[in-house]
Structures are given as structure tokens and as C-alpha cells.
Amino acid sequence: MAKDVMSESELYKFLGKYGIKTPECKSVGLDEKISFSKFPAVIKIQSPKVVHKSDVGGVILHLNSNEDLENGRRQIIENLKKHNITLDSNDGFIITQMVFGEELYVGSVEDATFGNVILFGKGGIYLELYKDVCYIEANARKDEIKRAIATTKIGELFHGFRGFDYKEEWAINLIESVQKMLKENNIKELDINPLKLTKDGLIAVDARILKGDSTYKEDNREKKRPDFLDNKRVVIVGANTEKGKTGYTIARNARSFEGELFYVNAKGGELFGKKLYKSVNDIEGDIDTAVIVVAAKFVIPTIHDLVKKNLKNLIIITAGFKEAGNEKDELEIARLGKEHNFNIMGPNCLGFYEDSKKLNITFGTGEVHSGDLAFISQSGAVLASLMDRAAELNIGFSHLFSIGNAADLRAVDLIPMLDSAKTCKAITIYIEGAARGRSLCESIRNCKKPIYLFKAAKSEAAKKAAFSHTGNLSGNYAMFHGIMKSLGVHVVETLDSLIFAPLFKDVKNIVVITNAGGPGTVLTDAISNAGKNLYELNASQIAELDKALPPMWSHNNPIDVIGDALPDRYEHALKIADKFDNIDLIYMLITPQDMTDALGTVKILKQHNFKHKVVPILLGGENMREARKFCLDNDILFFASIAQACEFLPQS
């Protein structure tokens, strides 16, 4: 790896080539006449004999004329003499204009996941202190750059903060120049700090460039592999007659498939009224899709049989590969996929679900409801937990993908497929360690559907834990988060948000009906904090509520129906609120007070078909048990705390 560090004047020239402004600067000899025109200026010694210029009086600041500069030069020569440094004809001086302005920063690093990544934000010593920077992928488009800048606080400087007339275009042009520079040169690291924001634009004052060949490399995955969502003939290798075994659960779940389904087990026999083939070879004709549940050592031999059947898609449930230290077999499986042009999901995964064909080859124990959300998970257990939670709350899915060890297929490959899938309206992703980051950005950039994402292994302790269970290396979370935000991804901060944030994605205006002011206030804070709006009641709505509610009601949203509210009062308020236009959600907040009938109140939701989404928040414990059970038994989505009801609303 070649390294190279440029001198100040070389740097200024190099930056100038990319249209990046630098301060006026001039080299002068030991006694030539000085003619400089940008003041105040600095004069500095330029000599291989002097390393730490300031320490030997080799820098003089705040000079306002050529006479001052010449005096300054004389002063430096004298200062150096005191340090026993005598200059000769190889030495000289550099004069630089002093630039005053806000200290910003632009730089780049080479990241293992994403390759070259640009950082832009507050500079000077505050770069480190405030970390007010955004991250921009090397191929980011203008809209991504703008979105990235908008995540920084200093971004406000470009939007009229305190009447400043700094143009956002300056920052965008600069970042695009850096993108170009990174493409045309081998640059490992770039640091322009400070980058001064002045009324004449951005000026790079100090810069450092570390040249070197890129070590970033993406495994190339051919785009020509078959369509993973085209499954007509499916075989389950390892279908098992013993209840409790994974091969049993998958075979059972798969029965609803609307295409042709085959079971294979070396023992032969019958399962769910279907023949158990002793070998894949015994099945006539081609196989689109195979699910492997056999022991790890049988996986590769099974694949050899399957490729003879023109296999398109392979789902390996079996564990015992990279995550267990057996990387060799996993690489061989990946190699076979490449060689024989089939997709691989897994190994060590929970399976796959496609709603439109009722193809459920997961070993989740519960049912999956129909829906329009596709979920891609790098953890089978996270998927299983959320499937379980979703089933109970009647939240449905269009697709479920458990990518396991991701020997082949990852989110980056699945996103384009889902973007074309009609039944999918939004994509939600749980990720621990990303690979092929540049391609992932490209997949997301081209995807027209909203994407929600949770990234695990943010902390050092968790990176260690993640590595121990998947062998995946997790990178810098701030960078990952920043790049995803710049791409318009909704990054969520809790697991539950993976299913709730897409479900509530269109919520802007909220009405709250409550039997208590305090919790109503807390909910209002949470809604405001999430950037959502408490719908403002108009005079006629207030008048209508006045007729239905006791005089003490809040006359405001939250609609406080007062502590002694029985179900009928909630019902009156709900019916009126349901008529409001321009609202997206009604939270029905119930606290256990003296007269409260929580069960009776949630029953209203079964008795009426409300036009708007109505979601109960059942605060408390003991006194809410019956009402919560009723909701669960009747597929009514509810929350048990205000925190839970709002954690997914901010889609950062």
C-alpha cells in the first residue's frame, strides 16, 4: 500500500483542481520583496530544519501590510537564531491569508462495509466534542447529500440561521467535489479541518490527505440468478413425522402452499397424507425450490442431488456452519450456488414465507396473518418473536425472510425483488452486520417502497456478542445510521418498532380520548416528541362533544372524558371523533380509576366499525388484565403503556 502525504502548497493546488477554495498563499524567499494583497495574513517558516514552527517563533499572525510581513519575516529569522537555527537558500517562507469564519469539517475514511465514506459537519476541536457530522456514501446523489446535511445541527447555517446567507449549494458542491476526488484518486483518508464557512463560500484552510490503494472489495453476486419469488415446485428435504422436530413443523406449515409440494426423508413413509420420497432423485421433473432440514453433514450431498433438478432456490434451515466454526462447508455451499446459478437462503435460518402463494416454510409455531409488510431478518429468534407478537395482534405480512448466516442472499438482494412484488407495500429489516454495503446503498436508493430498519450490535459489548453468534463483524453504528438516514431509510430504535412503525407510517394527526388528565398530558408529550400532531378541535366539534360529555370535559384534545367515565361516555366521544376528517389515529387511553370499566370500554371496538384506526392504551396492571385478554382474544391491537404506544412513532 503506497502512502503519500502532500505539503501545504501541493495540497492547496490539488484541492484547487477539484474546485475547492483555499486561502490566498504565496511562497517567498529569505529576502525577496514581499507583495501580497489579502490581509490579515500569516507568515510561517518553510524549512526542513523546523518541524514545530510555533515552538521556535516560526509563525507570526495578524499581519496587515507587506511592510508588516517583511518585519514579520525579519522577526522569525531572529527568533530562529535564538534557537540556533540558521537559514540558507534552501529555506523560505509561506504567506497565507488569515480566513475568518465558522469552522466546519469535511473528510473521508475508507470503511470495510461501505468503502469510501464522506463526513461533513462541525469542525475545529468541536468535531470530536459534538460529533455533529453526517455520513455520505461515495455514490450518494444530491438528494441524499441534502438529507445527510439536514441531519446535522450545523446544517441550519445553510437555512437562514440568524439571517446568515450561506448557501447549501456550497456544501453540496464541495461534497460532490470530494466524491469526484475520491473516484479519480486512491485516497485512504482525507481531512479538511477547519473548512471555513465565510460569506464568500467554503475555504479549506488545513488539509491532510493520505493516499493509498483501496482495500475495499465486494463479493460479486451475479444479478442474473433466478427470481427467488418464483416458486412452483417445492421440496422439503428432511420432512419429519416426529412431532416437535423442525422437519415436522416446516412440513406442517408448508401444507397450505398453492403450488406442488414434495417431502423427502431417507426413511420413506408418509406424512400428512403425502408420500415421503426417500431421495430427491426419486422426484420426477425439476424442482424450483428446496428446503433443507437434514443434519449439517448431509447438506452438501443433498445439494449435489438438487442441482440435477435445475434448482433455483435453496433454503437451508440446518445450522452448524459458519456460526459453529465450520466456514469451509459454508463457502462450498456458496460456491455451488454461484456455479449452478441458484439462490441460497441460510444456512442456520428460520425459513421463508410468501403470502401470495401461501408458502410458509418457516418453523414458526403460530399462524401468519396476511398483510403487506415484508420482513427481512438476520436473526431467526427476532423474527420468531415478532411473528409471535404480530400474530397475537393481528398484524400481517406479505413476506418473511430469515437470512441466517447469509451465505448468499441478504437484504441487498431481496430489496429489489420486494420492490417489484405487488403484495408488498413496505419493507422492514433487522440487521446485525451488513456486507456489500455499496450495493446495499444502491438497492435502497433504487427502491420505491418505504424501508424500516433496526440495526443491532451498536455497542462494543454487543458487537462482541454478535460476532460470537453469527461470526459477523459489525461496523461503526453512527456511520451506518447516517448513511441509512441519507438514503431515506426509517431507522427504528426498538424491535417492536419493526412491525409497528410501518403499521403507523401514515399517522400524522392524532386524537386522544382519555379518562385522566395526567396520563393524557404524558401521552401528549410523547406524541409531540415523536413529531406527530395533536389534532386541534374546531368550534363545532367542541359543541358536539359538549352535548355528549359532562360539562367538566377538557374542551381540548386530549379529550378528557373525566375519571368517572363509563363505557358509554367513551363510546359517545369515539363516535364523534370518528367523524373528524384529517385525523389518522385515535388513542383511547384508559386508566384504572374508581368507576373505570376497562373491559366494557374495549368491547366498544368490537361493537362498532370505526372509520379511523382506534387503539386502546390500557394503563395499569391487575385492573387491566381482563380488557387486555379481550383485546388479544379479539385481534384488537392495544398497548400496555404510553412508552410502548409511542416508541415507534418517531421514524428517525
DSSP assignment string, 522-578:
HHHHHHHHTT-EEPPP-HHHHHHHHHHS-TTS-SSSSEE--TT--HHHHHHHHHHHH
What is the spatial order of strands in the sheet that 25-28 belongs to? 25-28, 92-97, 41-46, 59-63
Per rule CB under 8 A, is residue 525 in the interface with a second copy? yes
With CB under 8 A, what is the number of residues at the site for a second copy?
Answer: 102
Q: Which helix (H) or strand (E) holds 105?
A: strand 102-111
Residue 39 beta carbon to a second copy: minimum distance, rounded to whole angstroms:
8
Rounded CA separation 91/50 (Å): 10
What residues are paired with 374 via a beta bridge?
A: 399, 427
Burial of 78 (0-12, 13-18, 19+ CB in 10 A): exposed
- Tell me if 582 contacts a second copy by CB under 8 A: no
> Are 321 and 327 in contact, with CB atoms under 8 Å apart?
yes
Q: Is the dihedral of CA 31, 33, 38, 39 positive or negative?
A: positive
Amino acid letter, 400: L
- Binding residues among 177-236 for a second copy as defined by CB under 8 A: none
634 touching a second copy, by CB under 8 A: no
Q: Which residues of 187-205 are buried (b: 16+ CB within 10 A; e: fewer)?
A: bbebbbbbbbbeeebbbbb
Q: Which is nearer to a second copy, 23 or 519 (CB)?
A: 519
Query: Quick one: 270 or 635, whose CB is closer to a second copy?
Result: 635
Shortest spacing between CB 16 and a second copy, in angstroms: 26
From the list 28, 527, 602, 604, which residue makes contact with a second copy (rule: CB under 8 A)?
527
Q: Which stretch binds a second copy (CB under 8 A): 135-143, 184-192, 270-278, 637-645?
A: 637-645
Min dist CB 86 to a second copy, Å, is: 26
Which range touches a second copy (CB under 8 A), out of 21-29, 297-305, 420-428, 528-536? 528-536
Q: Which of residues 90-129 bind a second copy (CB under 8 A)?
A: 98, 102, 125-126, 128-129
What Å distances lie between residue 409 and 81, 118, 380, CA to CA? 68, 28, 15
Nearer to a second copy, 190 or 387 (CB): 387
CA angle centred on 520, ends 517 and 525, rounded to 5°: 130
Closest distance of CB 49 from a second copy, Å: 26
Closest contact distance (angstroms) between CB of 224 and a second copy is 32
How far apart (Å, rounded) are the C-alpha atoms in residues 258 and 290? Answer: 15
Of these, 7, 185, 215, 528, which contacts a second copy (CB under 8 A)? 528
Q: Which residue has the cell 444479478?
A: 223
**What is the DSSP annotation of 268-305?**
--EETTEEEES-GGGS-S--SEEEE-S-GGGHHHHHHH
Distances (CA, A) of 134 to 175, 191, 517: 11, 14, 40
Q: Which is nearer to a second copy, 244 or 285 (by Cβ)?
A: 244
What does the alpha-carbon distance between residue 644 and residue 618 come to, in Å, rounded to a whole number?
Answer: 11
Among 8, 156, 584, 626, interactor with a second copy by CB under 8 A: 156
Q: 316: which 3 cell numbers?
A: 437451508
Smaller CB separation from a second copy, 314 or 383: 383
Position 380 contacts a second copy (CB under 8 A): yes
153 binds a second copy (CB under 8 A): yes
Report residue 454 as a C-alpha cell: 433496526
Rg (CA), the chain: 32
Q: Which long-range contacts (CB under 8 A, 24 or more apart) does 327-330 make?
A: 327/471, 329/296, 329/299, 329/300, 330/405, 330/407
Can you tell me whether residue 64 is helix, strand or coil?
coil
Nearest-approach distance from CB 496 to a second copy, in angstroms:
6
Q: Parallel, antiparallel, or unpaired: how do β-strands 92-97 and 25-28 relate?
A: antiparallel
Assess 650 for contact with a second copy (CB under 8 A). Answer: no
Residues in 320-349 that interact with a second copy by CB under 8 A: 324
297 near a second copy (CB under 8 A) = no
Q: For the purposes of burial, counting CB atoms within 10 Å of the CB of 244, is it exposed (0-12), middle (13-18) or buried (19 or more)?
A: exposed
CB closer to a second copy out of 208 and 469 = 469
Q: Is 428 in the site for a second copy (CB under 8 A)?
A: no
Among 244, 273, 582, 607, binds a second copy (CB under 8 A): 244
- List 552, 568, 579, 611, residue binding a second copy (CB under 8 A): 552
CB of 383 to a second copy, least distance (A): 8
Is the Cβ of residue 29 or residue 518 nearer to a second copy in the bound state? 518
- Tell me how far, at minimum, the Cβ of 33 lies from a second copy, in Å: 21
Answer for which of 208, 381, 446, 506 binds a second copy (CB under 8 A) is: 381
Q: Which three cell numbers stand for residue 481?
A: 445510521
Q: Which is nearer to a second copy, 446 or 528 (CB)?
A: 528
Q: Which three cell numbers stand for residue 282?
A: 426419486
Stretch that binds a second copy, among 176-184, 242-250, 333-341, 414-422 (CB under 8 A): 242-250
| 363: contact with a second copy by CB under 8 A | yes
The partner residues of 427 in beta bridges, in order of sequence, read 374, 451
* Part in contact with a second copy (CB under 8 A); list of ranges 223-231, 390-398, 481-489, 606-614: 390-398
* Span 494-513, contacts to a second copy by CB under 8 A: 494-496
Quick check: 520 binds a second copy (CB under 8 A)? yes
Q: Closest distance between a second copy and the C-beta of residue 130, in Å?
A: 6
| Contact flag: residue 624 with a second copy (CB under 8 A) | yes
Closest contact distance (angstroms) between CB of 474 and a second copy is 9
Supply the minimum distance, in Å, between the C-beta of residue 213 and a second copy.
Answer: 32
**Residue 486 interacting with a second copy (CB under 8 A):** no
Give the nearer residue to a second copy in terms of CB position, either 112 or 534.
534
Q: Does 159 bind a second copy (CB under 8 A)?
A: no
All three cell numbers of 196, joined, read: 471555513
CA 455 centroid distance within chain: 7
Of 379 and 398, nearer to a second copy (C-beta) is 379
Q: Which stretch binds a second copy (CB under 8 A): 214-222, 279-287, 421-429, 634-642?
A: 634-642
Q: Does 318 bind a second copy (CB under 8 A)?
A: no
Beta bridge partners of 211: 187
> Rule CB under 8 A: is residue 237 a binding residue for a second copy?
no
Question: Is residue 23 within the footprint of a second copy (CB under 8 A)?
Answer: no
